[in-house]
Amino acid sequence: MKQTIVYGPVLSRRLGVSLGINLLPRVKKICSLDCLYCECGWTQILTKNPKNINTFPNKNEIKEAIVEKLLETNINIEHITFAGNGEPTLHPDFPTIVNEIIKIRDELSPQSKIAILSNSTTLNNKDIRDSISKLDVKIMKLDVGNEETFIKYNRPAKEIHFSDVISGLLQMDDIIIQSLFANGKSGNYNEKNISDWINLIIKIKPKLVQVYSLDRLYPSDEIIPLPREKLIEIQTKLLENKIKAQVF
C-alpha cells in the first residue's frame, strides 16, 4: 500500500523513470476488482461506486503534492503515472484531477508524459473515457477472455459485468493492453481462456499488448508464475494476428 499521494521517482520496467500518483486512500484498499495477484493485497472495499467514502485525498492535496514533488526532483521524469492503491478512476473527482495534472505538467515538467494504469472497469462511463483519452499513455488491464475466468481470477464487484468492460475498451483508441497470466488452480492460463482473450484483443485493436506473469508478492495461494516460454507462446500468437506484443 502506498502511504503518500505522490511516490517515487521509481524505475519502471514499462515507463522508465516515473512518478506515481495515488488517488486512493492510504489506509484501506478500495478497488472495483479483487485480483488474485494484486501486490497491494486483498481489496477491503470492493465497489465500483465508492459513495460516502471520505478518505480520498482531495483535489487541493493532490495538486500540492505533485507540485512539491516536481519542484524538489532534479532528475528527468519520463512519466507521471496514475496508479496507486487500487483503481485510480474511482476517485469522485477524477476528470477534474486529470485536467489539473495536465496543467501542472505543462508548466513544471513539459517533457513528461502522463500515463495511467487502469483495470478498465469504469470505461462504460463517458466522462472517465474522455478523461483517460487526454492522457499520453493509456495502459488498460485485460487478463481474461470470458466472464467465467473474469469472476474467478479478477473477482469483480457485483455491479461489474465483463461485457461492459469489453464494451468500454472497444470505445477507446490508442491504448495499451496489459495482461498478467498465471498458472495454478485459479490461474487464467488455459486453452479456452487464451483463445477467447486473443479473439477479444483482435476486436479491441490496441496499439500494443504487454504480457507478463507474477513477479512481486501476491495474496493468493491458488496461482503460480507462468514460465517465460509460455508468455512467448502467447506473444507469438498475437504477432501471428498482426498484434504488436511485448513480454516482460
Give the pLDDT confidence score for residue 3 in this predicted structure: 83
DSSP code of 86? B
Contacts of 221 (CB under 8 A, 6+ apart): none
pTM of the model: 0.94
**pLDDT, tens digit, 9 for 90 and up, residues 45-69:** 999 998 878 789 999 999 999 999 9
Average pLDDT over residues 8-30: 91
CB 23 within 8 A of CB 97: yes
DSSP code of 212? E
Instruction: Verify cis geometry, omega within 30 degrees of 0, for the bond prior to 9.
Output: yes
Among residues 57, 40, 140, 141, the alpha carbon closest in space to that of 101 is found at 57
CATH topology of domain 6-247: TIM Barrel (3.20.20)
Give the pLDDT confidence score for residue 188 in this predicted structure: 98
Higher confidence at residue 51 or residue 188?
188
